[in-house]
């Protein structure tokens, strides 16, 4: 068995910014990322959707790079860029030919140092974000299902339960004062990690990091609200109308154990057993064999990328001739089978091989083919910000490969219980597809 060993170089600057470098000369390309340890989970109350709106503002201008310059400078250097807001982190990243590295570092440092935006920028991006919500959620069949539908049903702490894309009234209420306050609270070097991957020498990368980021002043340690949930004692259910889609849908989410515990590793393999494509038990039973469902998929979303309560979620679109309860009963039968009989040695072996293979692809893979090493960057960032240990990239696989079948069965019994789950039913309001001529 060939194991990958990623060479990782790290340094913490005097202002608290952590720097992680992975040299790799496969292509004359460098990927740079800055991750801030703040996501939509802990955005301010009364400002739902703010963390994401703020992410947009980070492209609107900084001290020396006014609006449009950031995007223009990256694209015109032959690079691509984007940002994304997740539960517990927000990232900004660029992939460019390696001759543009210094320019990209200058740009990222400039917007870490000082954001320079005005009301016009905020109005503009508020409009853009509303269209983003419409195109992804409000005007799409099954838009936001289940990632926006599930939290208010599953969780009781506002941090975990609110609308992460934002209620439009909250987006409208967001002001420039909020923007600057959020920036000065969370976007400080001591709450971030800078990642450099690809065609760069480690010593050069660390020198450049010092040169461009070293003089940015540290901020106060950011306050983080407590995201913990009160214990759940009964199954929770919720209902959402489906405005466009033709099939009844449901999502079933089970709260996950704490990350990096033995139970968490076991749940990851159980997830593979249940949701691993067409070989996964849920798809096989509901779609291929019983033929109740048209789609049955899901799992633990971004398993390395969260730092608070989360779920393993199954998403099912089923044929209208089966009731929600009949579909749920068939789903429950699949889980009971694992709880009662566990999994075989052979199945466990298959799951581990597939896990290892998928892990390698995560490390290599880009986003849409044009963001080399995005996966590796993401893991390094999360292991640095949550665990203070980027070297986990090289060792965490061992934890999954050490799971026993007894642990998988025990995890199924302990976590896949009705009292540990929430269910959202998304029901079409319009079952008749005929149109008025």
Partner 1 sequence: MATRVAEVSSLVPGLSPERAVNWPKRTRARLPNGLEVVLAEAHSIPKFHGELFFRAGNAQVVDRAPGLADMTATVVRTGTAKRPSRKIEEDLRSLGADLGTSASQDTSAISFAGLSEFSESILQLVNELAREAAFPEPEFERERRQKLEEVKLERTSPGFLAGERLRKVLFGSHPYAQISPSESEVAAYKREDLLSTYGQIYTPENGLLMLVGDFDPQAMLKTIEATFGNWTGQKPSAKQAPAPPKPRGRRVYMVHNPGSVQTQILIGCHAITRRDPDWIKLGLANSLYGGAFNSRLVMNIREDKGYTYSPRSGVHPLRHHGYFSVSAAVRNDVVAASLTEMFYEIDKLRSVPVPEAELADAQNYVTGVFSMGLATQEGLLSQFSTVELNELPPDYLETYRDKIRAVTPADLLATARKYFDSANMQIVVVGDRAQIEEQANLFGDVEVYGAQGGKIS
- Provide the minimum distance between the beta carbon of 37 and partner 1 in the complex, in angstroms, as a whole number: 26
Q: Which stretch binds partner 1 (CB under 8 A): 43-51, 118-126, 324-332, 405-413?
A: 118-126
- Provide the minimum distance between the beta carbon of 250 and partner 1 in the complex, in angstroms, as a whole number: 16
For partner 1, give the closer residue by CB, 139 or 333.
Answer: 139
Helix (H) or strand (E) holding 93: strand 90-97
Burial profile 88-114: b = 16 or more Cβ within 10 angstroms, e = fewer: bbbbbbbbbeeebbebbbbbbbbbbbe
- Provide the minimum distance between the beta carbon of 252 and partner 1 in the complex, in angstroms, as a whole number: 20
Six-digit token pair at 405?
Answer: 């079948």
Taken in order 98, 100, 104, 106, the sign of the CA dihedral is positive
Interactions with partner 1, residue window 40-69 (CB under 8 A): 64-65, 67-69
For partner 1, give the closer residue by CB, 258 or 434.
Answer: 434
Binding flag, residue 12, partner 1 (CB under 8 A): no
For partner 1, give the closer residue by CB, 123 or 181.
Answer: 123
Binding flag, residue 261, partner 1 (CB under 8 A): no
143 burial via Cβ count (<10 Å: 0-12, 13-18, 19+): buried
For partner 1, give the closer residue by CB, 421 or 426.
Answer: 426
Binding residues for partner 1, rule CB under 8 A, total 94
| Residue of the chain from 199, 263, 271, 297 that contacts partner 1 (CB under 8 A) | 199
Interactions with partner 1, residue window 76-115 (CB under 8 A): 76-81, 95-103, 105-107
Residue with tokens 């990096």: 260
DSSP one-letter code for 218: P
Measure Cα distances from 14 to 209, 210, 213 in Å.
11, 9, 10
Please state, in angstroms and rounded to a whole number, the distance separating the CA atoms of residues 195 and 92. 10
Binding flag, residue 341, partner 1 (CB under 8 A): no
What SS3 class is residue 320?
coil
Six-digit token pair at 337?
Answer: 């089978």
Binding flag, residue 207, partner 1 (CB under 8 A): no
x-or-dash string of contact with partner 1, 350-379, rule CB under 8 A: xx-xx-xxx-xx-xxxx--xxxxx------
The distance from CA 335 to its chain's CA centroid, rounded to whole angstroms, is 26
Binding flag, residue 135, partner 1 (CB under 8 A): yes
- Provide the minimum distance between the beta carbon of 145 and partner 1 in the complex, in angstroms, as a whole number: 13
Please state, in angstroms and rounded to a whole number, the distance separating the CA atoms of residues 189 and 199. 24
For partner 1, give the closer residue by CB, 291 or 333.
Answer: 291
φ/ψ bin of 299: left (φ > 0), alpha (ψ from -120 to 50), beta (otherwise): left
φ/ψ bin of 373: left (φ > 0), alpha (ψ from -120 to 50), beta (otherwise): left
For partner 1, give the closer residue by CB, 79 or 166.
Answer: 79
Taken in order 282, 288, 291, 296, the sign of the CA dihedral is positive
Q: Which stretch binds partner 1 (CB under 8 A): 131-139, 160-168, 173-181, 333-341?
A: 131-139
Q: Which stretch binds partner 1 (CB under 8 A): 45-53, 122-130, 308-316, 391-399?
A: 122-130
Q: What is the largest CA-CA distance in the chain?
A: 70
Six-digit token pair at 396?
Answer: 């965490």
- Provide the minimum distance between the beta carbon of 225 and partner 1 in the complex, in angstroms, as a whole number: 29
Interactions with partner 1, residue window 269-288 (CB under 8 A): 276-279, 284, 287-288
Interactions with partner 1, residue window 233-252 (CB under 8 A): 243-247
Binding flag, residue 140, partner 1 (CB under 8 A): yes
For partner 1, give the closer residue by CB, 157 or 427.
Answer: 427
Question: What number of other Cβ atoms are within 10 A of residue 151's Cβ?
Answer: 25
For partner 1, give the closer residue by CB, 137 or 410.
Answer: 137
Binding flag, residue 126, partner 1 (CB under 8 A): yes
């Amino acid at each position: 068995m060939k194991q990958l060993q990623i060479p990782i170089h790290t340094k913490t600057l005097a202002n608290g910014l952590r720097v992680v470098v992975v040299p790799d000369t496969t292509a004359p390309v460098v990927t740079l990322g800055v991750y801030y340890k703040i996501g939509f989970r802990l955005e301010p109350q009364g400002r739902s959707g703010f963390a994401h709106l703020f992410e947009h503002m980070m492209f609107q201008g900084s001290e020396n790079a006014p609006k449009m310059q950031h995007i223009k400078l990256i694209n015109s250097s032959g690079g691509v860029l984007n940002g994304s807001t997740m539960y517990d982190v927000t990232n900004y990243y660029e992939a460019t030919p390696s001759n543009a590295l210094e320019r990209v570092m200058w740009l990222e440092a400039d917007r870490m140092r000082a954001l320079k935006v005005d009301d016009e920028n905020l109005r503009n991006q508020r409009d853009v974000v509303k269209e983003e919500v419409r195109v992804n959620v409000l005007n799409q069949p099954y838009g936001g299902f289940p990632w926006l539908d599930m939290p208010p049903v599953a969780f009781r702490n506002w941090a975990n339960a609110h609308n992460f894309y934002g209620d439009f009234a909250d987006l409208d209420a967001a002001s420039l004062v909020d923007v600057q306050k959020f920036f000065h609270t969370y976007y400080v070097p001591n709450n971030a990690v800078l990642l450099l991957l690809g065609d760069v020498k480690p010593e050069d990368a660390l020198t450049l990091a010092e040169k461009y980021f070293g003089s940015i002043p540290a901020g106060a340690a950011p306050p983080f609200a407590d995201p913990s949930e009160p214990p759940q004692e009964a199954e929770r259910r919720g209902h959402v109308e489906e405005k466009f889609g033709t099939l009844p849908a449901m999502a079933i989410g089970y709260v996950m154990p704490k990350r990096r515990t033995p139970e968490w590793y076991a749940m990851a393999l159980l997830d593979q057993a249940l949701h691993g494509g067409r070989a996964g038990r849920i798809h096989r039973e509901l779609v291929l064999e019983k033929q109740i469902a048209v789609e049955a998929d899901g799992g633990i979303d971004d398993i390395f990328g969260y730092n608070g309560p989360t779920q393993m979620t199954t998403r099912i679109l089923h044929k209208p001739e089966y009731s929600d309860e009949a579909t749920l009963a068939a789903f429950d039968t699949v889980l009971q089978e694992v709880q009662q009989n566990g999994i075989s040695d052979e199945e466990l072996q298959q799951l581990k091989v597939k896990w290892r293979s998928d892990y390698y692809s995560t490390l290599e893979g880009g986003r849409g083919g044009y963001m080399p090493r995005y996966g590796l960057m993401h893991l390094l960032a999360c292991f640095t910000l949550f665990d203070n240990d980027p070297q986990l990239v090289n060792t965490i696989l061992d934890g999954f490969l050490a799971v026993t079948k007894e642990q998988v069965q025990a995890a199924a019994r302990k976590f896949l219980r009705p009292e540990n789950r929430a269910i959202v039913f998304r029901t079409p309001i319009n079952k008749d597809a005929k149109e008025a001529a």
